[in-house]
Structure 1
């Protein structure tokens, strides 16, 4: 029987050996819940420790509270109950310094060039002159956008516009990067290529990354650990350690363990969906 988190249960073991995970917690959620009004219990209680420098993904049924969890962790909304800390400091409805967020929607400004889009956050934060220019130049080069620095978003593909949005976040040098389905609107091939780019950025920056995704293969490829959430109110019912090395790429999709991980995730989600459907039938009877 698959172990579950909570109540002193044992965490699942890695499917194959990998690098040891760092032990220090970078962000911690303890007993976090989110209730909208007095009716919709969207999230929790949730307990989670994000390890410094890890890549953590979250999968779960639609409407289970994945994006709600990201919002409260980012400080975009306050939890109804429980505590959140980032680098030891309380997070409660205010975005802390050192946290960057990338959403699924194209958030580039159509009236600004790629260069000005990437530098927008720096300008608002008061960065000027040589330092700002060098940060933007480095981001443009690192993201492979040199030939499009003076282009406008309408002249770019969807994948390239998302690179601009990611670069605009990373140029601020966040220590915790939160990604809410950033590749959801892209085709499968582009998503795989963007996944490789994201892994390269993660290794280069040393940041802790949390990714929300519906794609099990994306979670399996990118992550050190994957949290599987229940139906609403969302809570973690399993956390899977992938055991991948830090220098992984999309080539790991050919590893037999990759299929084992995606199967394990699907089995957990399928079981959760069947339980939710059975509950709905009982309540409707």
Structure 2
């Protein structure tokens, strides 16, 4: 029996959820690589079907090596599928699409630039007029709570504040789709919860569609309207969990019984997949 949900079930669980238009779509997407040691081909991902509606906050969890980051690369245009279609706003993704912003786990703040110039970097490279750059950067500094640190350099900031700079640099480009690859993975638990609140505020303010890749089940359960669970390689979706949170949620949901139910369901699925990697079942 296949570990993946049948395609008919996937379509029913995704397309029939709400009447909003589909914003992002992957149709029978696979990704194959060549093993660096043996030279043999192997399939890392798929076939995957996924539909995100406009303005959705969707997270993906799965065991290490299941293809989560590979999937994000395909959506961002940094990689190409071996087969299948990747669509953003109804158009095939070829290269990095206009309207897509990406935030990675690594501290990507430029150490030689102050906070203001870090945030303005992409806009200036794109040739945006100086007055518009200043307007957008001023807004981002205020929104992300960085106004008092505009002239500071990354080395003078905490890890959480450096990640705020990276998120602000994405925010000012006004993306309609925000892709996040473990953006808070290097932060402590308390800072991650607070950064999660900031991210939810950003999501509500912009109306962007957000896709978050994370290993943290609590992070996925708190932030998302829906969570997709992936299997071991080749990565396939084996469950979709609707959290049922209201749009104005924040980190206080972690104290509710519903939060415990969501994380328990996610762990039930992931425990089985992780044990497969470890070579046992308990």
- TM-score when scaled to structure 2? 0.92
Q: Quote the residue 2:45 is aligned against.
A: 43
Aligned-pair Cα RMSD in Å: 1.9
Report how far residue 271 of structure 1 moved.
Answer: 2.0
Q: Quote the residue 1:139 is aligned against.
A: 140
Q: Quote the residue 1:244 is aligned against.
A: 245
Which blocks of at least 5 consecutive residues in structure 1 are unaligned?
14-19, 281-285
Report how far residue 62 of structure 1 moved.
Answer: 0.3
Q: 1:263 to 1:240 in 2, by over 3 A?
A: same
Matched, 1:215 2:212: no
Q: Is the 8 A contact 1:56 1:223 kept in 2?
A: yes
1:135-174 equivalent positions in 2, closer than 5 A = 135-174=136-175
Q: Quote the residue 2:5 is aligned against.
A: 5
Q: Secondary structure at the match of 2:272?
A: helix
Q: Secondary structure at the match of 2:8?
A: coil
Q: Is the 8 A contact 1:58 1:66 kept in 2?
A: yes
Partners of 2:33 and 2:91 in 1: how far apart? Answer: 25
Q: Is the 8 A contact 1:4 1:10 kept in 2?
A: no
1:34 to 7, 13, 31: 31
Q: Deviations over 1:29-77 (max 9, x none)?
A: 0011111125231111110001110100000000100000000111001
Q: Deviations over 1:183-241 (max 9, x none)?
A: 00000000000000000000000000000000000000000000000001101000101
Which blocks of at least 5 consecutive residues in structure 2 are unaligned?
35-39
Q: Quote the residue 1:60 is aligned against.
A: 62
Q: Is the 8 A contact 1:41 1:233 kept in 2?
A: yes
Q: Is the 8 A contact 1:12 1:239 kept in 2?
A: no
Q: Secondary structure at the match of 2:96?
A: coil
Report how far residue 7 of structure 1 moved.
Answer: 3.8
Structure 1 residue ranges (4+ consecutive) displaced by more than 4 angstroms after TM superposition = 10-13, 275-280
Q: Quote the residue 2:37 is aligned against.
A: none
1:134-283 equivalent positions in 2, closer than 5 A = 134-277=135-278
Q: Deviations over 1:72-112 (max 9, x none)?
A: 111001111110010011013x0000000000000010010
Q: Secondary structure at the match of 2:178?
A: strand
Partners of 1:143 and 1:27 in 2: how far apart? Answer: 27
Q: Secondary structure at the match of 2:163?
A: helix
Between 1:188-197 and 1:125-134, the stretch displaced more is: 125-134
Q: 1:193 to 1:127 in 2, by over 3 A?
A: same
- The number of aligned residues is 271
Partners of 1:176 and 1:5 in 2: how far apart? Answer: 26
Q: Is the 8 A contact 2:10 2:49 kept in 1?
A: no
Q: 1:112 to 1:6 in 2, by over 3 A?
A: same
Matched, 1:24 2:17: no
Report how far residue 12 of structure 1 moved.
Answer: 9.8
